[in-house]
């Protein structure tokens, strides 16, 4: 703790004041240490440097423009990158596949530009090709998810052209329901997946010749629509909740969507079994409750004023803090 501001004594000599200042310094240092450790352990997970291979492709695909050598004139020329082919480097860095080179998934022939035309049609691996039957990922239950997905209205109506990647961008995907501790982040991340297509005619038409219904009209019966869409996931109303999967993947036809207010606005809210399921998990494992408490978003509708819950959350907070500290100490001593 070399950075302790020892020279900042205020010139008052009253002993009692000195003690309190010492205490203050101590508290400040401990606090700074905790912050440092937390930020270090978060950073080391989230923004590892990208692989050389990825950086090479990103010189073109990471920007709105790219530069190429024109063989006819011998000069460098700047061109606009097709916006659909731009890879968002920030999101790539936080995705589950961030350690990958682009050519771990794409053909190595992409290393030359102009890219060969037939590469457009290269077959790409699906989630199940890599994750199916692999015990390392057992906790995610890929096979069960696949089964559920094949019962969903999307697969039934659009067939094979509706792949997992239509919702999960392999470049950016991160399991927020499992890793995030703020409800609003989870909700907006999840709903963006649905809206990327339901609010985008071009992407919608890739999988269907149907009309794309206007969501604001379809949900006109729901009061405070915007507020609801910020606080509940689309899948809350549109899937069958399962106890054994973290995220239900069976999107039901619209006739089966939840429309009854009491499903959520009651002490026995269904949200406990779905959206807030992850927090129950986290509470048990002692992780992540920190953020929930700080954000004060760990409520169930109508239940956030219960004092016993507050006490419980403070206890979890303290336990989580201790966990973080211990964890970091181990990490540091291992390096």
Site for ligand HEC in 150-209 (CB under 6 A): 153-154, 157-158, 164-168, 170-171, 173, 175-178, 186, 189-191, 193-198, 203-204, 207-208
CB of 14 to ligand HEC, least distance (A): 49
**In sequence order, which residues have a C-beta less than 8 Å from that of residue 165 and are 6 or more positions away?**
124, 126, 127
| Pick 10 or 305: Cβ nearer ligand HEC | 305
Contact 149, 127 (CB under 8 A): no
From the CB of 268, what's the least distance to ligand HEC, in Å? 12
Closer by beta carbon to ligand HEC, 138 or else 315? 138
Q: Which residue, 32 or 109, is less far from ligand HEC as judged by CB?
A: 109
- Residue 117 DSSP code: G
Scanning residues 262 to 321, which ones bind ligand HEC (CB under 6 A)?
Answer: 263-265, 271, 301
To ligand HEC, the closest distance from the beta carbon of 216 in angstroms equals 10
Site for ligand HEC in 40-69 (CB under 6 A): 54, 56-61, 66, 68
Q: Measured between alpha carbons, how far is 182 from 168 in angstroms, rounded to an integer?
A: 20
Considering only residues 90 to 149 of the shown chain, the ones binding ligand HEC according to CB under 6 A are 92, 96-97, 99-100, 102-106, 110-111, 113-115, 120, 124-125, 127-131, 137, 140, 142, 145-146, 149
324 contributes a contact to ligand HEC by CB under 6 A: no
């Amino acid at each position: 703790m070399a950075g302790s501001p020892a020279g900042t004594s205020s010139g008052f000599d009253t002993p009692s004041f000195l003690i309190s200042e010492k205490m203050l310094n101590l508290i400040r240092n401990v606090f700074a240490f905790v912050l440092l450790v937390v930020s270090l352990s978060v950073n080391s997970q989230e923004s590892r440097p990208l692989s050389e291979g990825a950086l090479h492709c990103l010189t073109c695909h990471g920007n709105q423009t790219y530069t190429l050598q024109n063989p006819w004139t011998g000069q460098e020329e700047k061109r606009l990158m097709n916006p659909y082919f731009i890879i968002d480097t920030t999101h790539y860095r936080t995705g589950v596949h961030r350690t990958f080179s682009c050519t771990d998934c794409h053909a190595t022939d992409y290393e030359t530009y102009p890219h060969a035309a037939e590469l457009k049609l290269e077959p790409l691996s699906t989630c199940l090709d890599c994750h199916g039957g692999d015990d390392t990922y057992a906790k995610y239950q890929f096979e069960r998810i696949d089964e559920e997905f094949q019962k969903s209205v999307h697969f039934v109506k659009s067939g094979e052209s509706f792949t997992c990647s239509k919702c999960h961008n392999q470049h950016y995907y991160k399991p927020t329901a499992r890793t995030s501790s703020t409800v609003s982040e989870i909700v907006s991340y999840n709903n963006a997946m649905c809206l990327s297509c339901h609010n985008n005619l071009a992407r919608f038409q890739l999988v269907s010749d149907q009309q794309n219904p206007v969501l604001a009209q379809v949900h006109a019966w729901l009061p405070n629509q915007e507020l609801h869409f910020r606080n509940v996931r689309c899948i809350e109303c549109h899937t069958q909740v399962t106890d054994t999967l973290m995220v239900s993947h069976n999107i039901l036809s619209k006739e089966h969507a939840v429309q009854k207010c009491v499903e959520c606005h009651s002490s026995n809210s269904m949200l406990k079994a779905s959206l807030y399921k992850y927090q129950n998990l986290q509470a048990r494992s002692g992780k992540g409750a920190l953020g929930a408490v700080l954000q004060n978003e760990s409520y169930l509708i109508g239940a956030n004023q219960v004092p016993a819950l507050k006490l419980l959350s403070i206890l979890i907070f303290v336990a989580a803090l201790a966990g973080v500290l211990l964890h970091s100490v181990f990490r540091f001593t291992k390096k």
